[in-house]
Amino acid sequence: MRRSWRRRLDPAIPGGIAVLAALLLGVACDGPAPPTTAQSPLLNPSGEPAIGTAAPSVATSPSGRTLPDWGGAVLLLAGRPGSMSLQRLASDGTHREIDLPDPDASWVSTDVDGHVLVTLADGRAFRADSVTTAGDPGWTSLGGAATTATGQRALGTLSPDGTTAAFVAADYGSGAPAELAVVDVELGAQQFVALGRSAEGAPPVWLDGQIVVLVRDAHDVVGSVVVDSRSGRVSTGPGPAAPPGDDGWSAPILALSSAADGSKIAIVSRLDLVPEIRPAGSWLAGRSTTAERLSLSSEADGSRTFAWLTLAPAGDALAIVRTNGDGETVELTVALRSAGWAETSRLGLPTGANRAVAAWLP
């Protein structure tokens, strides 16, 4: 029997299993590369974003009004599986092209100091200290085996302090119970936690020393499990299977993100598809909380769907990867707490892109 918390010191190796969890895995971009720093009118505070342009960026409105300050920058990985680009987007209207470690990236994550982790489709991962300038940031390979006995690593997420990375290791085709792979960034040592349920295909969420993972039960209902990052102890988290007596969140979960400072979580119920911002500690403890709700505008086809969302480090801004009714990614929306959690910016995607992942930079 496998231990639920064990240590490996294996080097990272390519995996032979293609892990593709709906819209969350396999992002790409083709088309010409943009200038290292540029401005173009692809986004405005109202109206439809421009799709099919050479590169994404943020811009002023047609009237010349400056867009609200995000308080940071957005790192956007976008395009098509197997061929992608990475862009640093700022609310001042500039974007920078960042070289990737491989043309088959599938996920991007950051920490509060601006370190970046990119996960490839084959389960390998690479880390960079900073992407503040254009070009190659000096990627280094992250340790740990890319493919495990349970499945392939995916959706690598840095802890807020950047010392540790968590991955979901799963065989999504079989629906077998998944594992959480936790890697020490400096040492490369990899530990595994058996989750006991099949993975939903969503990134691990770090919250006050805990790691929240979305999982499916025997009836295919999505809830969460919580892993203590120090001991490896696994417990049932908020969701339909929450422990008796909890008066907090009990709905099936569609998407979840936490602020790096641990203050807030952004969560979406599969029942109403409305993003909500809640106090993180109370939510995790199973206590009733007051929600701030965000109303998404409709896309051109009338849909209000999205693939994922990510909360800024201080919990005051939300980036949402939007999709149309056919499941194609069409834009990135930014909403600010200072605007009453209203949409303030809409970003078009690079030419031909139909997948996107976003992360916040300081």
Average pLDDT score, the chain? 81
**Percent over 70 (pLDDT), the chain:** 81
pLDDT band at 49 (very low <50, low <70, confident <90, very high): very low
DSSP string, 140-184: EE--S-SB-SS-EEEEEEE-TTSSEEEEEEE-TTTTPPPEEEEEE
Residue 35: predicted pLDDT: 27
Q: Which CATH superfamily is domain 5-361 in?
A: TolB, C-terminal domain (2.120.10.30)
Tell me which residue has tokens 């009733």: 288
Query: What distance in Å separates the CA atoms of residue 285 and residue 11, rounded to the nearest whole number?
Result: 37
Instruction: Name which of 101, 106, 103, 72 is nearest 89 in CA terms.
Output: 72
Residue 189: predicted pLDDT: 92
What lies within 8 Å, CB to CB, of 61 at 6+ separation is 44, 45, 46, 67
- Whether the pLDDT of residue 327 is over 70: the answer is yes
pLDDT single digits (tens) 132-169: 887 889 999 998 888 888 889 999 999 999 999 999 99
pLDDT band at 67 (very low <50, low <70, confident <90, very high): low
Residue 173: predicted pLDDT: 81
| Count of CB atoms situated within 10 Å of the CB of 304 | 14
Instruction: Give the range among 20-34, 224-238, 326-340 with minimum mean pLDDT.
Output: 20-34
DSSP state of 63: T
Rounded to 5 degrees, φ, ψ at 185 are -60, -40
Higher pLDDT, 32 or 245: 245
Residue 10: predicted pLDDT: 30
Beta strands in 259-316 (DSSP E): 264-269, 275-279, 292-293, 306-311
**Percent over 90 (pLDDT), the chain:** 54
pLDDT single digits (tens) 68-100: 788 889 999 999 999 999 999 988 778 889 999
| Count of CB atoms situated within 10 Å of the CB of 78 | 28
Residue 264: predicted pLDDT: 96
Q: What is the identity of the amino acid at 192?
A: F
| Annotated domain spans of the chain | 5-361
Residue 182: predicted pLDDT: 95
- Whether the pLDDT of residue 13 is over 50: the answer is no
Give the tokens for residue 248: 């907090």
pLDDT band at 197 (very low <50, low <70, confident <90, very high): very high
- Whether the pLDDT of residue 111 is over 60: the answer is yes
Section 329-350 average pLDDT: 90
Residue 59: predicted pLDDT: 39
pLDDT band at 66 (very low <50, low <70, confident <90, very high): low
Residue 219: predicted pLDDT: 86
DSSP string, 14-60: --SS----TTSS-----SPPPPSSB--S---SSSPPP-SBSS-----
pTM score, two decimals? Answer: 0.83
Residue-wise burial string across 215-225, b where 16 or more C-beta atoms lie within 10 A, e elsewhere: bbeeeeebbbb
Query: What distance in Å separates the CA atoms of residue 244 and residue 227, rounded to the nearest whole number?
Result: 19
Please, are residues 55 and 353 in contact by the beta-carbon 8 Å criterion? Answer: no
Query: What distance in Å separates the CA atoms of residue 7 and residue 181, rounded to the nearest whole number?
Result: 10
Sheet holding 317-323, edge to edge: 306-311, 317-323, 329-336, 342-347
CA distances from 13 to 16, 133, 145, 167, 310 (A): 10, 29, 5, 15, 29
